[in-house]
């Protein structure tokens, strides 16, 4: 079974992600150690909270993460983990991200109830993407966020969600996948997506 490291940088819902991975047959390890990250078959970048704090905690291992991505190692970003993959975020001022995806993270419109919390649907744009295997259009998933990503390249948007505006809820590029929602909190559909990621790593 693949060894998947959940990157522990002090921000994230690590135990529930680990439990979900175990249910799909993977061997999860929660770690921030360079040797563990390097030895992993794949990585998960979780995240809950503020972008600025996350970037600060992630900084000691950010270059290593980028090197692992460049080497072709699969990665799944979750919620704030998706946002950290972008060029920059406007949360707390303009803050630099990992720049894996070109684009900017911005606040949801002020006239909406913020944060966007609860179940919402996926509009599947690229059903052929491996992360969406057996995930039907209109599936419900669980969100908790106040910011969303503006993606420069529309080809990277795999699914969208509508919350007055349409925002990217799943993005992908090469062997990198990321969800704005929490698959580990999204019941059977979320577990299926985590299983799809594990199967992709195994393939």
Q: For the domain that residue 106 is a member of, what is the CATH number?
A: 3.40.50.880
* pLDDT band of 13, cuts 50, 70, 90: confident
Contact 132, 121 (CB under 8 A): no
Dist. CA 112–CA 175, nearest whole Å = 34
pLDDT digits (tens, 9 = 90+) for 76-108: 999 999 999 999 999 989 999 999 999 999 999
What domain count does the chain have?
1
Query: Could you tell me which residues are beta bridge partners of residue 65?
Result: none
Is this structure's pTM higher than 0.85? yes
Here the tokens at position 141 are: 């998933």
Q: Which of 57, 68, 79, 145 is catalytic?
A: 79
Which domain does 33 fall in, by range? 3-202
Residues in contact with 114: Cβ distance below 8 Å, sequence separation at least 6, in sequence order? 107, 108, 146
pLDDT value of residue 47: 85
Dist. CA 182–CA 177, nearest whole Å = 13
Residues in contact with 7: Cβ distance below 8 Å, sequence separation at least 6, in sequence order? 31, 32, 37, 43, 44, 45, 46, 58, 61, 65
How many helices (H) does the chain have, and how many strands (E)? 5, 14
Catalytic residue flag (residue 184): yes
Dist. CA 105–CA 50, nearest whole Å = 12
Q: Which of 68, 116, 156, 184 is catalytic?
A: 184
Catalytic residue flag (residue 153): no
Q: What is the mean pLDDT of residues 142-162?
A: 97
Contact 23, 30 (CB under 8 A): no
Q: Which of 57, 116, 156, 182 is catalytic?
A: 182
pLDDT value of residue 1: 86
Query: C-alpha distances in angstroms, 160 versus 29, 56, 123, 151?
Result: 30, 29, 5, 11
pLDDT value of residue 133: 98
pLDDT digits (tens, 9 = 90+) for 30-82: 999 999 999 999 999 998 888 999 999 999 999 999 999 999 999 999 999 99
Dist. CA 42–CA 113, nearest whole Å = 35
Here the tokens at position 149 are: 């990503």
């Amino acid at each position: 079974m693949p060894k998947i490291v959940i990157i522990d940088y002090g921000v994230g819902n690590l135990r529930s992600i680990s439990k979900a991975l175990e249910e799909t047959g993977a061997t999860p390890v929660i770690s921030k150690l360079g040797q563990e990250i390097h030895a992993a078959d794949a990585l998960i970048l979780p995240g809950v909270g503020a972008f600025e704090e996350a970037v600060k905690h992630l900084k000691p291992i950010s270059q290593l993460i980028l090197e692992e991505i460049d080497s072709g190692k699969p990665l799944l970003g979750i919620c704030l983990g998706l946002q950290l993959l972008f060029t920059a975020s406007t949360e707390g001022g303009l803050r630099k991200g990992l720049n894996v995806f070109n684009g900017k993270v911005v606040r949801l419109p002020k006239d909406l109830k913020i944060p966007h919390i609860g179940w919402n649907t996926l509009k599947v744009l690229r059903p052929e993407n491996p992360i969406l295997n057996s995930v039907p259009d209109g599936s419900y998933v669980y969100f908790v966020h106040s910011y969303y990503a503006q993606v420069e390249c529309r080809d990277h948007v795999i699914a969208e969600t509508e919350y007055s505006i349409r925002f990217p809820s799943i993005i992908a590029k090469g062997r990198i996948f990321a969800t704005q929602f929490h698959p580990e909190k999204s019941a059977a559909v979320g577990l299926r997506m985590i299983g799809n990621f594990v199967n992709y790593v195994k393939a």
